[in-house]
Structure 1
Amino acid sequence: MEIPLQIAFHRAEKSDWAEAEIRARVDKLQSFYDRIIGCRVTVDQRARNVEGTVPPVVRIEISLPGTAPLVVAYEPDRLQQKFQTPELGNAINDAFELAERRLARLKEAREDREKSPPHDAQNQFLGQVAQLYPNEDHGFLLTKEGGSLYFHRNAVLQGNFDELRVGDEVHYVEEVGDTGPLATKVRVVSARQK
């Protein structure tokens, strides 16, 4: 992990065995999914009752690249439904099991996304640069049907707008904007020789 593990106890007594268990479970998460950037675990005793049967909340926040942090907060009422007298060990175990399941789903989704072609590949069309207005940051593409389609400088994802020339072949996705159809996600296929 790029960011060291952070463990905090709020309104709960710090316990060496609990901290050791949390560290072991985070190591297991890391061995399962090596792209984890950082992890913060909080043990918070939010509520107490006379019998002392309200377990603490174990909150796990896992930082991952390219996405919002994965957050698991295992609330006491779920543990009380599951165990007659839930305690900190149950809370830690159940929170990390839930985190493992969520990481497994995330890992599977990322692997599927890497295997599958880009989402817009089926909606992509081949066109040709027909007109350019560099001072106005836009141009027009000639579609395969022979029509003209507006595109903005910011729509060019692959290639450089300033290096585009009339006749360059591009792939694009057609969408409907406020003023009608336009080309988005423009990618240069082949540049015309100067």
Structure 2
Amino acid sequence: MKVPPEITYRNVDKTNALDALVKEKIAKLEQVCDYISSCHIVIEKIHDRPRSGSPYRVRIDMTVPPGHELVAESNPPDVNQYPPLEAVIRDAFHAATRQLRELARQQRESDKSRTNDSAQQTTALVIKLFPEQGYGFLKTLDGEEVYFHRNSVLHDDFDRLEIGTGVHCFVELGEEGLQASTVKIVDKPGVGAGKAEQTIVKPPLGWQE
């Protein structure tokens, strides 16, 4: 996990047993998905004497690259009269595990699809540039935002890029999310990049930066 998990106890006494249980469950989450960006767990007592259901609530907030936010929560209703806190914790982590497995499955299928289509280039437009830092962002015509580095631009053409420049590139899933490689300007040779009337690639209807 890139950022150490945050565990917050509210109106609940933190014990070694609870702490060990939570850390055990976090480790199992990382077995399902080993690139979780952050994880915040809140364990709280929301009622002293509820008429029904559990007095405890456990909420797990996770972020997973490239920009997924997952939330799992457990606050058993009256069908589970006063379950122990440990059971509520296990239930919340069980829900979080299901979500992570589904997301990991979707990402694997997406990655596999990109691998199968690797012979085909993607068309994109430059939407953000940071010349001094040497990187920028593209938006593909299907709306995905993709990071690229100066070194990924062919023919040392990074300095020719402007907002709105059309390019061809390959897109892959990196450690920080989608990233582009083999970025090639599609303007005609010798023409200044970024001129809307000279750009071969036209944005789709309704496209916005």
Distance in 2 (alpha carbons) for counterparts of 1:23 and 1:13: 16
| Identical pairs, percent | 23
Which position in structure 1 is the counterpart of 2:14?
14
Which position in structure 2 is the counterpart of 1:159?
184
How far does residue 14 in structure 1 lie from its aligned partner after superposition? 1.7
More helix by share: 1
TM-score normalised by length of structure 1? 0.61
> Secondary structure of 2:8's match?
strand
TM-score normalised by length of structure 2? 0.57
> Secondary structure of 2:89's match?
helix
> Please, which runs of 5 or more residues in structure 2 have no aligned partner?
124-161, 168-182, 192-198
Which 4+ stretches in 1 moved above 3 angstroms? 50-53, 160-166, 170-174
Q: After superposition, give the CA deviation of every residue in 1:65-116 in whole Å (9 maximum; x if it has no partner).
A: 2113322122x2xx13442331211111110000000000100010111111
Following superposition of structure 1 onto structure 2, how do residues 33-182 of structure 1 map, counting pairs within 5 Å?
A: 33-49=33-49, 54-74=54-74, 76=75, 79-117=76-114, 154-157=164-167, 158-160=183-185, 164-165=189-190, 172=201, 175-176=204-205
Distance in 2 (alpha carbons) for counterparts of 1:177 and 1:85: 52
> Secondary structure of 1:41's match?
strand
Distance in 1 (alpha carbons) for counterparts of 2:72 and 2:163: 41
- Between Structure 1 and Structure 2, how many residues are aligned? 144
Distance 1:82 1:90, change over 3 A: farther
Distance in 1 (alpha carbons) for counterparts of 2:95 and 2:81: 20
**8 Å contact kept, 1:7–1:41:** yes
**Bigger CA radius of gyration:** 1
> Secondary structure of 1:97's match?
helix
**8 Å contact kept, 1:9–1:43:** yes
